[in-house]
Amino acid sequence: MAFRRLWSDRVLPYIDLVMSFAGFLRRHTLWVGLVAVLLPLVVLLALQYRWLVKLDHTSAKAHEATLDNYLEAVGSEVEFHYSGMAERVLDLPAPIFTQHKLEKAAHYFKKKGSEEAGARRLFVVSFAEGEEESEYPRFFDPSCASLTLPKWTPEVQAISVAIAPWRMMSHKGVAVETVSPKVDERDPEHRLLLYPITDESSKVVGLAGMVLDESHFADVLLPKIVKKALPKFFQDGEEDPIVAVWDRKGRKVFVSDWEKKGKMEVKKAIPFVFTDWKIGLASRHATAAQVARRNFAVNIGLSAVLAAVLLGGILLALQTASRQMKLSQMKSDFVSNVSHELRTPLASIRVFGELLRLGRVESPDKAREYGEYIETESRRLTQLINNLLDFASIESGRKSYRFERACIEDVVSETLKTFGVRLRQNGFRITYEGPEAALPAVYFDPAAVAQSLSNLLDNAVKYSNGSKEIAVGLRREGSWAVIWVRDQGIGIPKDEQAKIFERFHRVGTGLVHDVKGSGLGLSIVQHIVQAHRGRVAVESRPGEGSTFSIHLPIDPPDASPAGVFATSEA
Ligand code: ADP
């Protein structure tokens, strides 16, 4: 008992909920499918967008970092070059730094440095004697490989200012821990590279130095270093940035590619020497930010195109699925409608047949009437089966027509005669309007055209909605023979009028629900008429009735006496 109550109170509502949810899913499969696909797609796109924004940011930063690193590498190369040169040329032995032996410095300079193009001048100064005049700088004269005592010039002044602190250190006996080349650029016209010479107790005994050659730096050294460093940072030669160097007055002294103009992205001071000069990089095509923006636009564009293609594909698939579902629904309706259409005339035939067999029909008139019923119903069955067979042959592409030159009016009146019995039985009144003048013989398939007309008449009866007036006519319109059927039945809404000629299509609203049908009649009419190079048209208003007209060319352009000119194109 308790279990049953628990079951009905607690469990059943959940089961109901699950069932109704499952029902909802089944009813709205397409929408659920669309949402199930769209939702992850939107999330994916949003994530992609975020990721791209981040990538955009970091790639711009990475690009800038590459440019920075490149400039640093150029700076290091410059330092490496000058330090190396100083150590190679200026590192002279300490014992020669005395008044008498200093002349030997010329010999050393000649041996290892006189050909150094980076130096405008080499000089030495000795602090060993501790006397003012012997501590005057001596210039190396490469022409006679000797030292000379220069006159007082701005150059000598620059050197004297630069060596003053060293002289002081020497006099005070300050020990120098590490010996390395020093730069003095206080006079930009005379940039100096000094190398302290120390004795075994690390005390400065003198200085060897050089005055740097500006034009050699700009014209020879920079191009070499820039060219050497570029491939290490920029693999693609096309994308190489343009390198430019400005001197302290802001004049451009070097550009790696004079012909190209670019947007300057990074500008830095040169470290170590020429520190008041600037080196800069310009991108050949676009700046880092522009490249990143372009990449971002390309990526987001690609993603959008991809998403659109994906969405298009999904929509197409969903549309196909929806069409298939509709078609399968139509097919199952078709099966139930056809079975119903078969069953009704069969039931009448069976009842009238039984009555006749049991001898329950007394008067010959009644027997004739029942016979007519049986004949009419059999004709209906035949028409239905003909439609089905025609549909099958149209679908499989095997439908063929037997054309002949015949009188179309005969075919119309013959069909009306055959239909007349049924119409009369059902209380219909049928009127016929013939052509004003007799029509010439038309080239057509009489059986097929009769079947089309029967289908139209059958519909006029089925969708009559109680109005028993049907009008049929035949007229000539130029080179066309027009057969028309007018009823005063339920009519067809405007938006349905083109669709009713599609196979299985049945108007889904209003009274038509109560009328059984296969949904094939009009599609067969259209196929037959098109095979005759003609057309079928409908004029209709809901509630007021419909007029269907079949237009057949009196002389089709490809009419041949052989008899067959059109077969089905299913
Ligand atoms: P069915 O077997 O359903 O009659 P048809 O192909 O002959 O198939 O017709 C297709 C649909 O067109 C019908 O289901 C009906 O809704 C509509 N229709 C056809 N003829 C008429 C008519 N005379 N009056 C109103 N509706 C019609």
Mean pLDDT of the chain: 85
Cβ neighbours of 533 (radius 10 Å) = 16
CA distance 329 to 338: 14
pTM of model > 0.75:
no
Task: Check pocket membership of 553 for ligand 1, CB cut-off 6 A.
Answer: no
CA distance 488 to 541: 10
pLDDT tens digit string along 487-543?
A: 999 999 999 999 999 988 888 754 445 677 788 899 999 999 999 999 999 999 999
Residue with tokens 């410095």: 105
Task: Check pocket membership of 106 for ligand 1, CB cut-off 6 A.
Answer: no
CA distance 550 to 527: 11
CA distance 340 to 276: 102
Task: Check pocket membership of 459 for ligand 1, CB cut-off 6 A.
Answer: yes
Task: Check pocket membership of 458 for ligand 1, CB cut-off 6 A.
Answer: no
pLDDT-derived band at 566, boundaries 50, 70, 90: very low
pLDDT tens digit string along 110-124?
A: 887 655 668 889 999
Coil, helix or strand for 463?
Answer: coil
Contact in structure between 190 and 159 (CB atoms under 8 Å): yes
> Residue 489 C-alpha to ligand 1 middle, in angstroms?
11
- Give the mean model confidence (pLDDT) for residues 174-203: 91
Contact in structure between 525 and 456 (CB atoms under 8 Å): yes
pLDDT tens digit string along 368-407?
A: 888 888 888 888 888 888 888 888 888 888 888 999 999 9
Task: Check pocket membership of 545 for ligand 1, CB cut-off 6 A.
Answer: no
Residue 212's pLDDT is: 93
Contact in structure between 90 and 322 (CB atoms under 8 Å): no
**Ligand 1, pocket-test mutation among 333, 463, 518, 549, most atoms within 8 A of CB:** 463
Which protein residue's CA is at the shortest distance from atom 13 of ligand 1? 506
Coil, helix or strand for 237?
Answer: helix
Alpha helices (runs of H) in 358-445, residue ranges in sequence order: 364-395, 408-425
Contact in structure between 70 and 54 (CB atoms under 8 Å): no
User: Which residues, 6 or more positions from 420, have their beta carbon under 8 angstroms from its beta carbon?
Assistant: 430
Contact in structure between 87 and 239 (CB atoms under 8 Å): no
Contact in structure between 59 and 286 (CB atoms under 8 Å): no
128 vs 347, higher pLDDT: 347
Contact in structure between 131 and 170 (CB atoms under 8 Å): no
CA distance 521 to 452: 8
> Residue 518 C-alpha to ligand 1 middle, in angstroms?
9
pLDDT tens digit string along 534-551?
A: 999 999 999 999 999 999
Residue 133's pLDDT is: 66
- Give the mean model confidence (pLDDT) for residues 340-358: 88
**Ligand 1, pocket-test mutation among 490, 522, 541, most atoms within 8 A of CB:** 522
Q: Is the pLDDT of residue 265 over 90?
A: no
Range in 28-32, 312-316, 440-444, 516-520 with the lowest mean pLDDT: 28-32
- Give the mean model confidence (pLDDT) for residues 326-346: 82
State what percent of residues in the chain have pLDDT above 70.
92
Q: Is the pLDDT of residue 564 over 80?
A: no
Which protein residue's CA is at the shortest distance from atom 16 of ligand 1? 507
- Phi, psi for 499 (deg, rounded to 5): -75, -25
Contact in structure between 197 and 92 (CB atoms under 8 Å): yes
Contact in structure between 511 and 522 (CB atoms under 8 Å): no
Least Cα distance to 310 among 34, 31, 32, 55 occurs for 34
State what percent of residues in the chain have pLDDT above 90.
31
Contact in structure between 545 and 539 (CB atoms under 8 Å): no
Task: Check pocket membership of 341 for ligand 1, CB cut-off 6 A.
Answer: no
pLDDT-derived band at 188, boundaries 50, 70, 90: very high
pLDDT tens digit string along 283-296?
A: 776 666 777 788 88
CA distance 498 to 507: 11
The full DSSP string for 271-289 is SSSSTTSEEEEEESS--HH
Contact in structure between 397 and 568 (CB atoms under 8 Å): yes
Residue 565's pLDDT is: 45
> Residue 555 C-alpha to ligand 1 middle, in angstroms?
30
Task: Check pocket membership of 546 for ligand 1, CB cut-off 6 A.
Answer: yes
Residue 364's pLDDT is: 86
Residue 511's pLDDT is: 46
Atom of ligand 1 nearest to the CA of 455: 7
Contact in structure between 472 and 484 (CB atoms under 8 Å): yes
> Residue 16 C-alpha to ligand 1 middle, in angstroms?
40
253 vs 265, higher pLDDT: 253
Residue with tokens 């564009």: 301
